[in-house]
Amino acid sequence: MTDPTPLKLLNREQAILEFNRRVLAQAQREDVPLLERLRYVCIVSSNLDEFFEVRFADMLEAVRDPLSAVTGQDVDRVGRAAHTLIDEQYLIFNEQLTPLLRKRRIVVLNHADRDEPQRHWVAKYFEREVRPLLVPVGLDPAHPFPQVANKSLHFIMRLSGKDAFGRDNRIAIVKVPRVLPRVIKLPANLSDGRQAFVLLTSVIRAHLEDLFPGRKVEAFSQFRVTRDSDLEVDEEEIANLRHALRSGLTTRHFGRAVRLEVVNTCPAELSEFLLEQFGLPNAALYRVNGPVNLVRLNELIDQTDAPPLRFTPFEPAWPTGRLPRHKSIFEKLKKGDVLLHHPFESFDPVVQMLREAVVDPEVLAIKQTIYRTGAKSELMDLLIEAARRGKEVMAVVELKARFDEEANINWAERLEAVGAQVVYGIVGYKTHAKLLLITRRENGKLRRYGHISTGNYNPKTARLYTDLGLLTADADLTADADSVFRQLASLGKFKALRRMLLAPFNMHSRMLELLAQVEAAALAGYKGARVVVKINALTDAELIHGLLRTAQAGAKVDLIVRGACMLPPGLPGISDNIVVRSVVGRFLEHTRVLYFRWAEGTEADPGEALFLSSADWMSRNMFRRIEVAWPVQDARLRQRVIDEALQPYLHDTMDAWQLGPDGRSARISDSGVSAQQALMRRYSEG
């Protein structure tokens, strides 16, 4: 079939902002507990920080490249959308959540709200905990504007009169110490039966003049600058990536400024002065009606004693029927694969398998990829212990996992210190595949056991993200995993694997082949031709056009895309056979499931294929990362994936949004069926 009718794809950055609009809508849902609604506001703030640090910074870089397709109009359009979203965020915080918290007797008291005993307590707290850490800087030729690190919070002030030396230097800067808590809970005896909090900025603001004896603070504002934080190193020109990144971490905090936040009462004189200092245009100024950096209100959520205002605790189930507790996981896997569905099922079996491998004298070697494990990790501690016990340990550590670089460098150094073999993947490619491989001696022969996952080796996020993982002793899959590890270490020529697909080599082309197979079936008149793809992002142009061709041939295409989607669905004659939905609920949707159907199943041809993958359908995943996808060939497991990870999401009417051709999303309903809640009930009831 010819290429589909040309169409303009949706803008990626605006698609990311649209996803955050969906997340922010969770803060307005009355069926979501109040503190969790506030947490969604914090999540959006955190997401927007990364958006400006990486995506928007990339746009600003691209617009200066004469060969780039990014225009100044694109930047302006995205900037306006960001302004609108942030204004909406503060409106929800001020006009909806704050009054509801107040009704629940949870209050944040500014200086004007505090009574005399509370002000006295705050003053003592300031003198004891805060003032010793403050360094007020009056600006003059000997005290130039200070280096301001990425996302660090400061005050800027205009002072009256002259300084102690008779000079007319009126501008001063005070940095808010990062080591201090940003939210402070007042003692119960001062709170009148409420849970009362003060913000650190409010404590400092109340005592600004104490920092400049003999002078008045005529005007002031909090401010925070966001900088380009993508860590760039020329991997072709360096001898040791770990050392280069360790060095680069120290300069990351002072990249090019991309956004300036001030409070909405900041005088124009001060905001213009700051814009000039950071070399920013007026469009980069964000005036906010409330605390600068709402992320810090997570501290209020954590300190508030109000269980009814949080989600009911959910304990992931242990897969008892398929994996009996306190028995050898290796023995169980000899009888068949075990599929784990997180967070509905526990991540503990993965930890237990590695723990069993560490103490088992018959286990000879352990290999694992490390992408995001966290600063504290039992899995990493177990790898270190395995190396200490003399086992062959290979760790593929991705040093460029964004914002986890320092933790991963630390793990790499600790593993090397005990004799583990540590490699950093392939120069120019991030290792994003999630693989664990254990080699064991059994009856004089070697046998492999593995774990493959759509998500990270992080037990904490495994309770918050939806993912699928496979524990297996399948000879083909484990041989493929071993080939991937050898590829990453030896850098040899790629040889097609038995069952797995491996990016950047053949995953993209195989996905296009499968789409073409469904397209051909639809053109031949097969009415059941179907594609269902569940991923986090869809931005690769070739895959988008492959989906369009398949849909235009008559196949039904359902896309469940959590985040950015550049395919505009519902365009008459172009994409009207494609439905794009996004599910935003209690857990972060992270599972990647790829389903293709081209015929009724026969013994010779199942007529369908289902893959699980670590990769989203983005060009970077397909061509600039090491990613795996693997087929689920066992009919029982394949049906379970369809029943749990696809069908419930296609019928979700509570947490689902549908994307329109203009790139805007609309909630399908605010009642009915929630896929996540249904899965929680299913696993809670055993």
By annotation, the residues acting in catalysis are: 432
Give which of 291, 373, 280, 299 is closest to 52, Cα–Cα: 280
Rounded Cα distance, 480 and 496, in Å: 9
Rounded Cα distance, 69 and 114, in Å: 54
Burial 248-265 (b: 16+ CB within 10 A, else e): eeeebeebebbbbbbbee
Q: Residue 563: phi, psi to the nearest 5?
A: -110, -125
Rounded Cα distance, 465 and 88, in Å: 26
In the three-class reduction of DSSP (H, G, I as helix; E, B as strand; rest coil), residue 147 is classed as: coil
Q: Residue 154: phi, psi to the nearest 5?
A: -135, 165
Beta-carbon-side half-sphere exposure of residue 447 (alpha carbons within 13 Å): 15
Give which of 207, 52, 53, 191 is closest to 129, Cα–Cα: 207
DSSP string, 287-299: EESS-S-GGGGHH
Residue at token pair 């499968």: 514
In the three-class reduction of DSSP (H, G, I as helix; E, B as strand; rest coil), residue 487 is classed as: helix
User: Residue 507 has which token pair?
Assistant: 């995953």
Side chain identity at 184, as an amino acid letter? Answer: I
User: Residue 524 has which token pair?
Assistant: 């031949």
Rounded Cα distance, 613 and 433, in Å: 8
User: Could you give the maximum distance between any two Cα atoms of the chain, in Å?
Assistant: 93
Residue at token pair 């003198």: 127
Measure Cα distances from 43 to 81, 270, 317 in Å.
18, 29, 26
Give which of 352, 437, 444, 461 is closest to 628, Cα–Cα: 437
Peptide linkage before 504 cis (omega within 30 of 0):
yes
3 state SS for 338-389: EEEEECCECCHHHHHHHHHHHHCCCEEEEEEEECCCCCCCHHHHHHHHHHHC
In the three-class reduction of DSSP (H, G, I as helix; E, B as strand; rest coil), residue 532 is classed as: strand
In the three-class reduction of DSSP (H, G, I as helix; E, B as strand; rest coil), residue 611 is classed as: strand
Measure Cα distances from 149 to 177, 201, 226, 251, 276 in Å.
12, 18, 8, 9, 16
Q: Residue 285: phi, psi to the nearest 5?
A: -90, 125
Measure Cα distances from 548 to 276, 512, 517, 533, 568 in Å.
47, 11, 13, 13, 10
Rounded Cα distance, 553 and 524, in Å: 9
Contact between 468 and 485 (Cβ < 8 Å): no
Side chain identity at 527, as an amino acid letter? Answer: K
